[in-house]
Structure 1
Amino acid sequence: MGNPMRIRATENGGVVDVKVLMSHVMETGQRKDTAGVAVPAHFIQTVSATYNGAMIMEADWGPAVSKDPFWNFKFKGGKKGDKVTVKWVDNKGDSRTDEAVIA
């Protein structure tokens, strides 16, 4: 399991703005270490967000996404005090799920 995500969700005029900072190495599999050996690929493949149990956003990622990715999206209908849950799964089967209360 990776390090906790930093999630901020704020509501303004019926629109919720969600900002997520994920901690992940995001190795492409093309970089070589100091000995010249290729570093194995290790990257987030799927990211999803739910609001009150309903899927609101899902994305398929690949090795081109940078280390410690930042993800920002908006959706309508969220209310202050409710929770937004974000989950990622990487190519090695590791996953992380965190949530934030809408402010």
Structure 2
Amino acid sequence: MASTIRVRATSNGDITEVQALIQHPMDSGFVKDAKGETIPPHYIQQLTFEHNGRNIFVADWGTAVSKDPYVKFSFKGAKKGDDLKVGWIDNKGATDTATAKIQ
């Protein structure tokens, strides 16, 4: 299975900018399908970004986040060539991870 996470991390001096796009339906459990039946909730519960073994960004999400979420943030303390690990877990127990080299 192909990764659901696309991530880019770019270092500019002491600041690293991270951009991530995650493919996920993020169903709230309140929307109905074409037959009028409620689509069960299916959403990312936790999103984690890790650098050098420590969490630098953790998001606890619920049903209010839109489909295919995009995240952008920056942090200090990384250098070009370092690894940035991204992972998520959803309410059905599914997970995905990806690792990107900081450019």
TM-score (norm 2): 0.95
Letter in 1 for 2:102: I
Displacement of 1:53 after TM fit? 1.2
Q: Does 1:50 align with 2:55?
A: no
Cα RMSD after superposing both structures: 1.3
Residues 1-103 of structure 1 mapped to structure 2, 5 A cutoff: 3-103=3-103
Q: Provide the C-alpha distance between the structure 2 equivalents of 1:67 and 1:3, rounded to a whole number of angstroms.
A: 16
Structure 1's unaligned 5+ residue stretches are none
Contact 2:3 2:97 in 1 (8 A): no
Cα 1:76–1:53 change in 2 (3 A) is same
Do the aligned partners of 1:14 and 1:78 also contact (CA within 8 Å) in 2? yes
TM-score scaled by structure 1? Answer: 0.95
Q: Is the 8 Å Cα contact of residues 28 and 64 (structure 1) preserved in structure 2? A: yes
Q: Distance in 2 between matches of 1:37 and 1:83?
A: 43
Matching residue's letter, 1:11: S
Runs of 4+ in 1 over 6 A off after TM superposition: none
Equivalents in 2 of 1:45, 1:72: separation in Å?
A: 18
Gaps of 5+ in 2: none
The Cα offsets for residues 44-80 of structure 1, whole Å up to 9 and x where unpaired, read as 0100110011111111001110100001111101000
Which AA in structure 2 matches 1:33? D
* 1:2 CA drift (Å): 7.4
- For the 8 Å contact 2:87–2:96, the answer to whether it is kept is yes
Identity of aligned residues (%): 48
Count of equivalent residues: 103
